[in-house]
Amino acid sequence: MNKVILAPAGGRKTQSIIDLCLSGEDTKKRLIITYTTTGQNVIVERLWQNKKINSDVEVNGWYSFLLHHFIYPYINDLYSNQIVTGLHFVEGRDPSLYKGGREKYFDTSGRVYSSNISRLVVEIIKASNEACIDRLEGIYDEIHFDEVQDLVGNDLEILRILLKSELRIIAVGDVRQSILRTSRSDRKNKKYNGLQKILWFKEMECQGLCEIEEVATTWRCNQSIIDLADSILPEDLDFPATKSEQKYETDHDGVFVLSWNNLKTYIETFNPECYKYNVNSKILEGTDAMNFGLCKGKTVPRVLIYPTKDMEKSLKNSKTMLKDQTASLFYVAITRAMYSVAIVVNKPRDFDITEWTP
């Protein structure tokens, strides 16, 4: 049976893929797919550590998977005489937005626009009468998807088709950390963007295409940190409350607010990793801070957060819900920390959170 494992930050999602590869039959051919290069490197490193790098386990990026298993071998089923030279990664304005035909998918040098690559693959699957799926079934027994929450639009259509195939699909991820997107212009399945993607997985389960395993444990954050992270998520999506198995204690544990006046002393005392919303965020002069979107995947002892006004409002009043993307970014920033999270605010006494003072 296909399986979707949904786990919180620090829920050992990537490790679950390694464990499945270690515990499965050695004769099975497995492909592991993840979106980011960093994610691929982490998986390869862990496979090496467990002496599981061999011809029966491959690791691919999402775009590489689509190019090598769908587009290169089957593009002429859709567009005859089309030469494919690689990937045109789209950042900012989408150059294919107002184009049609093959120009919607390829630039003048034959590179595939990353913004439309999944839509192209869906067209190829149809044009080939799913011959590309038959080919995958002949090559692999299992396909494992890491960070599956990053898939959007037509990516989900491809995943749906794979769930219906003879391949065994195992997907792991955390919808709460939906801050990356394989495409920003793909409008397919728009209603399942961000935190709403949990509903897509539940729909797949209802159709009998997979079973969902929800892990409600973190081995990274202590209980007070993960409780704060859980509290900023929409209640109507019914994410399970997370239990911490991180039991190590230090002399500075928990969640704190602090004033700008005490900020310099706090940083000098505890040396936290500092996170901000974007390049325009106000931070302490003479110090550095990383954007929320860049800290995903990190684990550090202590975090200091420069919140947005909306984030401050949600901390003051739990009934003030954040927009999905903002909630996910805040969740990611909070859950990098193992022992302590400090949040810089203008009036610490307005919050029902312990104020840190020197």
In terms of domains, do 121 and 25 share one? yes
In terms of domains, do 247 and 185 share one? no
- Write the CATH number for 260: 3.40.50.300
CA–CA separation, 96 and 44 (whole Å): 34
What pLDDT, on a 0 to 100 scale, did the predictor assign at position 90? 87
Give the pLDDT band (50/70/90) at residue 50: low
Judged against a pLDDT cut of 90, whether residue 17 lies above it is answered with no
- Give the phi and the psi of residue 34 in degrees, each rounded to 5: -140, 160
Show the domain range for 294.
Answer: 219-350
- Number of domains into which the chain is organized: 2
In terms of domains, do 70 and 204 share one? yes
- Mean pLDDT, residues 55-71: 91
Judged against a pLDDT cut of 80, whether residue 32 lies above it is answered with yes
Strand segments (E) across the chain? 3-6, 30-34, 57-61, 86-88, 111-113, 142-145, 168-173, 211-214, 217-218, 243-244, 254-258, 273-276, 290-291, 300-306, 337-344
Give the pLDDT band (50/70/90) at residue 43: confident
Helix (H, G, I), strand (E, B) or coil at 58: strand
In terms of domains, do 166 and 238 share one? no
What pLDDT, on a 0 to 100 scale, did the predictor assign at position 337? 97
> In sequence order, what DSSP letters do the residues of 166-205 get, joined into one string?
SSEEEEEE-GGG----S-SS--TTGGGSGGGHHHHHHHHH
H helices, E strands: number in the chain: 12, 15
What pLDDT, on a 0 to 100 scale, did the predictor assign at position 222? 97
Per-residue pLDDT tens digits for 161-177? 999 999 999 999 999 98
In terms of domains, do 160 and 181 share one? yes
Judged against a pLDDT cut of 90, whether residue 234 lies above it is answered with no
In terms of domains, do 7 and 25 share one? yes
CB 73: neighbour CB atoms within 10 A?
15
Per-residue pLDDT tens digits for 89-146? 987 778 887 888 899 999 999 999 999 999 999 999 999 999 999 999 999 999 999 9
Give the pLDDT band (50/70/90) at residue 24: low
Residue at a domain's end among 215, 248, 279: 215
Per-residue pLDDT tens digits for 191-230? 888 888 999 999 999 999 999 999 999 999 999 999 999 9
In terms of domains, do 200 and 234 share one? no
| Domain contains 355 | no
Residue at a domain's end among 215, 246, 268: 215
- Mean pLDDT, residues 235-254: 91
Most confident of the following: 3-17, 182-196, 263-277 = 263-277
In terms of domains, do 210 and 224 share one? no
Place of tokens 């290169």: 72
What pLDDT, on a 0 to 100 scale, did the predictor assign at position 53? 58
In terms of domains, do 89 and 49 share one? yes
In terms of domains, do 194 and 72 share one? yes
Q: What is the DSSP letter of 273?
A: E
In terms of domains, do 255 and 158 share one? no
What pLDDT, on a 0 to 100 scale, did the predictor assign at position 245? 95
What pLDDT, on a 0 to 100 scale, did the predictor assign at position 25? 63
- Mean pLDDT, residues 311-324: 85
| Domain contains 336 | yes
Place of tokens 């790098």: 53
